[in-house]
C-alpha cells in the first residue's frame, strides 16, 4: 500500500492537472494565430500594397509580445 502524498504535493499535482490542459489549448491557439498571420501576409501584400514587410513584422511582433505578457 502506498503512502498518501503530503498536502503540498497533492496541491501541486491538482494544480498541474488543471492548468496544463488550459495552457496547451492556449499554446495551440497562439500557434494557429501565428500561422494565420503568415498565410495572410501572402495575400495581403498583393491586395494591399501599403502593407509592406515592416507593417506585417510589427503585427507579428504584437502577437509575439502577447505570448510572453
What's the DSSP call for residue 6? P
21-63 residue pLDDT tens: 999 998 898 788 778 877 888 887 788 888 888 888 887 788 7
Distances (CA, A) of 16 to 7, 29, 33, 69: 14, 20, 25, 21
What domain count does the chain have? 1
With 90 as the cut, is the pLDDT of residue 15 above it? yes
| 47 lies in some domain | yes
The residue range of the domain holding 30 is 22-68
Give the model's pLDDT for residue 20. 94
Q: Where are the alpha helices (DSSP H) in 1-69?
A: 7-47, 53-68
Give the model's pLDDT for residue 4. 87
| 12 lies in some domain | no
| 42 lies in some domain | yes
| 60 lies in some domain | yes
With 90 as the cut, is the pLDDT of residue 68 above it? no
With 70 as the cut, is the pLDDT of residue 67 above it? no
Amino acid at each position: 500500500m502506498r503512502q498518501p502524498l503530503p498536502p503540498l504535493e497533492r496541491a501541486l499535482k491538482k494544480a498541474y492537472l488543471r492548468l496544463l490542459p488550459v495552457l496547451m489549448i492556449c499554446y495551440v491557439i497562439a500557434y494557429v494565430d501565428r500561422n494565420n498571420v503568415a498565410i495572410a501576409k501572402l495575400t495581403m501584400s498583393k491586395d494591399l500594397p501599403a502593407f509592406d514587410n515592416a507593417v506585417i513584422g510589427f503585427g507579428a511582433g504584437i502577437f509575439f509580445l502577447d505570448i510572453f505578457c
